[in-house]
Structure 1
């Protein structure tokens, strides 16, 4: 295993286990560090906890006493733990640095990182970039917010391997020296304000992806997003914009017939099979990141001629009795649902609802032209019902959950309708994850026949 070269801390508190905390603790113990673990829900009988104890970890479980900070040099925090947590707040008060596991992964990966973030499109862009490199016969691994712990992959990364990381704002807010070779900023809009508290805090978390980059690094950014154009001016890295509109940029762009990188034609637009106009931005960002990493045009073309999308992101589930079912469970905010609605010209029955974070849904109003019916569930169902009434949608059904929503949508549907799960909300009021919600949708669809 590679050594942590720029990590001068000897006594580390790992706050919150889950997958990322467990991986970080294991790596730090293997590096000879003193590790104290604090987790409220874990017990000494859990297999991962028992293993870490055998490796020499000190355990403080079941509560979060302030004494866990005594003698600590740095805190490695689970991304899901907010910064108003008493332990985190006290650590900052004492001048103890608080980081996330991504910081450790960044040091182990030796500058072979392509980091991808944005309010929407991260998973699609991460997957596309990874596959483009694979099809170009480059050695590549993928990790991060996509569901694979970055540290576990980074510790065994070979010298000639690329590491593509999907990065959330929760992960990026806790970095110190983290510096990807290629940083990708897809878009930014107000999200996760319950965690970050302010719009400015959220933006700064995202911009951490390039804050440590130097002149020999690259920042790929959306030239159609004014916030990102302004933010990119702060970056020292070489700037590589992408745009679906502007053909005069020195980056990835497109016209009516083809997509290009700089002045080089990559492929014809009609050969791209990925559904949805919004995905052109993800494609262009992926092309830029892949080309900068040595991908071939042939490798890029192979991917874009076959790739139909990632699971839970405008995923085509099937055609049942002339109805087209799409799973867009990853649409946890209004912008994602706007883009899903814009992808279709057919009549849509929209399945939506979920955790109420206090926001409204009026920004969806201009995108409801093709929506013939709404089937609603979860905490936000009443708000979404008011939206449907405002949009003059005549058929609005309230249901218990995603599973019952599928049956209700099918009953009111006709041939050639699109039945679209695109909730515009997080899943946590009824489901543990958006993946679980999407899987329940898929299962319910399959039970119709």
Structure 2
């Protein structure tokens, strides 16, 4: 690990336990910091909190007492999900206490080259594509997908070496808490409006995304979506890194693009677009970003093609779950906004029975109407937005609209109203928090129901 002395004898507040907070606390303790952990929830029965206490780490739970800030803190490691509107965080900002997230710790200690990926949509799929490409036929070291994808970056950074690569998915929440964070290759898949309940303004959200390139120099690279004029203007005007554009729509002089159904990089044919097995134009964009990174890292075209040949997608993101009685079931539970559902629908030529619904964020979903008209034969809605989405479907002149309460009911109804060669697509267009802890739980509910339907069909 690098910079181990940086943390010695520092007093650090880890705000919010969770997985990243727990690993950050262990790491800081190992490096010689005096660590205090604080979580709003009562942790008296929490196993991880007891492990920390056994190591002599102070754990304060059941609230966020402001007097913690009187401890002469050197910095705070904040759980990304805790907003800056939190009273303790606001007070820390007023006191000018440095606030970082766990990815900053990972950067400070990592000996491995770092590739960071952000964007409104496509982060996880692009991250997994890059990890697969960099590991194809690799003879030395390994690429690790870490960060917002689920594996704490600081946990892997403790063990990885100069021969490895950290392929880090970073959210806007995490990027608001970086200081020295400096990836050698940064990727911005796209930027749309999102998470305004957290960021309050679109400008704050966009600026958080652009923090990925803030510390880059002209020896680094920024890979970005050239099809978005706003993003192109922002990157070209703010980044000191070498510009590496990708485009699904334009032939470019440099970067990654499509020409005659071939993926090109800097004028060289890399592979056919048919080798990208997961459906959707948005996944072709993700593939272009991943190819650009692979070429910058010196990966051969044959290895790029081979890696895509066995990349079947990421669970809960346009995941082909099963084919039952001629119907293909796709799990796109990660589609927590209407734009992600639009991208999903664009990927299908067969008729779609759409399963959608979830948390009501008081946002219009009318932008789904054109895609519903073009691709969807029936809509089954669930959750808080079930009636809103049913009204959207009526505006799109969908003849079959079914309103139920749960994902399981919706999946069974979708199968019942479908025909052979139809696609049954869970792409909710809404967050999951009305009924589930996260989108993974929602997707797993869908998968389990599909398995039950399959068993029922085979049993009959």
Q: Which runs of 4+ in 1 moved over 4 A?
A: 5-9
Asked if structure 1 preserves the Cα contact closer than 8 Å seen for 2:7 and 2:32, the reply is no
- Aligned CA-pair RMSD: 1.4
Distance in 2 between residues matched to 1:283 and 1:65, nearest whole Å: 46
Distance in 2 between residues matched to 1:271 and 1:29, nearest whole Å: 47
Among candidates 430, 435, 449, match of residue 444 of structure 1: 449
| CA pair 60-136 structure 1, distance change in 2 beyond 3 A | same
Residues 175-190 of structure 1 correspond to what in structure 2 (within 5 A)? 175-190=178-193
Distance in 2 between residues matched to 1:136 and 1:240, nearest whole Å: 25
State the partner residue of 1:242: 246
SS in 2 for 1:215: coil
Distance in 2 between residues matched to 1:271 and 1:201, nearest whole Å: 38
Instruction: Note the alpha carbon deviations across 1:190-245, whole angstroms, 9 max, x for none.
Output: 00100111100110111110011111111000100112101112100111111112
State the partner residue of 1:232: 235
SS in 1 for 2:209: helix
Asked if structure 1 preserves the Cα contact closer than 8 Å seen for 2:278 and 2:312, the reply is yes
Distance in 2 between residues matched to 1:60 and 1:171, nearest whole Å: 23
| Residue-pair matches, total | 449
SS in 2 for 1:278: helix
Distance in 1 between residues matched to 2:26 and 2:123, nearest whole Å: 28
Distance in 1 between residues matched to 2:27 and 2:14, nearest whole Å: 11
Distance in 2 between residues matched to 1:390 and 1:257, nearest whole Å: 35
Distance in 1 between residues matched to 2:275 and 2:36, nearest whole Å: 54
Distance in 2 between residues matched to 1:134 and 1:350, nearest whole Å: 35
SS in 2 for 1:56: coil
Distance in 1 between residues matched to 2:333 and 2:86, nearest whole Å: 29
TM superposition score normalised by structure 1: 0.97
Among candidates 164, 167, 171, match of residue 164 of structure 1: 167
Instruction: Tell me the CA shift for residue 54 of structure 1.
Output: 2.7
Residues 212-227 of structure 1 correspond to what in structure 2 (within 5 A)? 212-227=215-230
Unmatched tracts of structure 1, length 5 or more: none
SS in 1 for 2:83: coil
Instruction: Note the alpha carbon deviations across 1:385-410, whole angstroms, 9 max, x for none.
Output: 11111111121111111011011111
State the partner residue of 1:153: 156
Asked if structure 1 preserves the Cα contact closer than 8 Å seen for 2:9 and 2:34, the reply is no
Asked if structure 2 preserves the Cα contact closer than 8 Å seen for 1:111 and 1:179, the reply is no
Unmatched tracts of structure 2, length 5 or more: none
Residues 252-291 of structure 1 correspond to what in structure 2 (within 5 A)? 252-291=256-295
Distance in 2 between residues matched to 1:124 and 1:59, nearest whole Å: 36
Distance in 2 between residues matched to 1:19 and 1:294, nearest whole Å: 34
- More helix by percentage: 2
State the partner residue of 2:207: 204
Distance in 1 between residues matched to 2:9 and 2:198, nearest whole Å: 28
Distance in 1 between residues matched to 2:417 and 2:409, nearest whole Å: 13
TM superposition score normalised by structure 2: 0.95
